[in-house]
Amino acid sequence: MPFNGMTVALETSTDKLLSNPSTCSLIREQMLEVIRAARHLGVHRIDESFADKMIANNLSMPPYSPSMKLDYDFGRPMEIEYLYSRPIQIASEAGFSMPKLEMLEKMLRFKDKEKQPDKKYD
């Protein structure tokens, strides 16, 4: 989730997000929110070390733009509902909040509305 939204919000690529200590830290914090939400919902096969593994894997990859960034760049609708809104809602209904991802979701809705002014949001 974090790479998709953060590359759009900051209009950058994964390598630049990870090479900056501030954004790398934020990416990790967002990953931990997802992992903790999953664990809260009963998924116990994943622990916090997975975030570090994902960051290490991405550091070894060539720079790339995730699918949401490509959608944004080419003026296509972003899958905010499926990648952010629904998971945030499911976690919230189970009593777990994800404030960093909630903020990112709102930023993405702003950027999406700028590109698609006629789009309606709930």
Give the model's pLDDT for residue 92.
Answer: 94
CB proximity list for 8: less than 8 A, separation 6 or greater: 68, 69, 72, 78, 108, 111
**Which helix (H) or strand (E) covers residue 86, if one does?**
helix 86-93
User: What is the share, in percent, of the chain residues with pLDDT greater than 90?
Assistant: 70
pLDDT > 70? residue 8: yes
Residue 34's closest CA among 84, 103, 78, 94? 84
What was the pLDDT predicted at 47? 86
What sign has the CA pseudo-torsion 111, 117, 118, 122? positive
Residues 15-40 have a mean pLDDT of 94
User: So what's the pLDDT on residue 48?
Assistant: 87
Give the amino acid at 104.
L
| E strands in the chain | none
pLDDT in tens, 29-87: 999 999 999 999 998 888 888 998 999 998 898 888 899 999 999 988 899 999 999 99
Residue 42 identity: G
Taking alpha carbons only, the member of 44, 42, 49 closest to residue 28 is 49
Model pTM score: 0.86
What pLDDT is attached to residue 121? 56
Residue 44's pLDDT is 87
